[in-house]
């Protein structure tokens, strides 16, 4: 298990984001790795700009995730993994430290699912909406696109390799962010295209509050990535928060113990980005690698 930490920033904001956890991408050329790093840096800077201008943690995490959804390198939004029938079904969630939450599963038309999840939170009485139609998006002024928008040639080829047995289904493609703003509030957001070759209608942990995302002021904001079924069974994001809130664990210890008890013992892998109520940052994964950016200032630490 690898853990990266940043201490509390003395009352200032903090931000951490991930672009998915999984196998080590040794096949990446230096140019390809640089492209992923540019994507992570752009997402971090979008979120940090919000925080630096005194904006909310919620606005920051949504800004970061939206950049990653628009980047076809990452498995969220455009460039999402494809189902066994070659379609994109997208999941996303947001949660604030005050306890508000919204999520969408099997989204097919929203250009930015994280915006749709936020709309569910802010404009409906619900938490989770499944397969909303374009008319639902129009009610809240959200941009709708055709289903082909999400499909890239790279993902078509990846699906072909999975279906003909030349590769195993990618389990760890998800993006997300967690932040603490200058007012001390935390928030988190997660977005994904799921697993390559998954059954139509399959939903992983990303839109499940307490599994793929969780936030509580003075405690922590968390976004998860990994083997979604294991994160759901272990209620991983909430389990980390509960160790802090009820057992008094520090953030690093809480993450380490949850991974040991809810993931590693079952042979499941993944990662989290977490920002504590004090602004401390932890990025952790037990997979071979995880794309991430983290920091308490305008220039982040990157891991690819």
The catalytic residue positions are 174
From 141, 189, 258, 213, select the one nearest 43 (Cα to Cα): 189
Q: What are phi and psi of 117, to 5 degrees?
A: -60, -40
């Amino acid at each position: 298990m690898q853990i990266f930490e940043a201490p509390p920033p003395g009352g200032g904001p903090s931000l951490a984001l991930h672009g998915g956890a999984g196998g080590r991408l040794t096949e990446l050329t230096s140019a390809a790795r640089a492209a992923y790093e540019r994507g992570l840096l752009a997402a971090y800077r979008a979120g940090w700009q919000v925080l630096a201008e005194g904006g909310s943690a919620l606005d920051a995490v949504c800004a970061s995730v939206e950049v990653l959804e628009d980047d076809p390198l990452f498995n969220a939004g455009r460039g999402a993994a494809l189902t066994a029938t070659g379609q994109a079904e997208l999941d996303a969630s947001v949660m604030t430290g005050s306890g508000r939450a919204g999520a969408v599963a099997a989204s097919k038309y929203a250009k930015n699912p994280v915006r749709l999840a936020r709309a569910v939170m802010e404009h409906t009485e619900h938490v989770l909406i499944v397969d909303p139609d374009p008319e639902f998006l129009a009610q809240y002024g959200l941009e709708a696109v055709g289903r082909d928008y999400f499909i890239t040639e790279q993902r078509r080829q990846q699906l072909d390799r999975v279906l003909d047995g030349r590769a195993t289904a990618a389990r760890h493609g998800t993006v997300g962010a967690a932040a603490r703003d200058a007012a001390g509030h935390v928030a988190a957001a997660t977005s994904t295209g799921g697993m390559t070759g998954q059954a139509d209608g399959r939903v992983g942990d990303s839109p499940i509050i307490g599994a793929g995302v969780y936030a509580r002021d003075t405690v922590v904001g968390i976004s998860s990535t990994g083997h979604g079924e294991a994160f759901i069974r272990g209620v991983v994001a909430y389990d980390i928060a509960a160790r802090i809130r009820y057992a008094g664990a520090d953030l690093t210890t809480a993450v380490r113990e949850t991974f040991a008890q809810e993931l590693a013992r079952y042979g499941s892998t993944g990662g989290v980005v977490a920002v504590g109520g004090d602004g401390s940052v932890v990025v952790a994964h037990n997979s071979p690698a995880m794309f991430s950016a983290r920091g308490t200032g305008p220039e982040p630490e990157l891991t690819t």
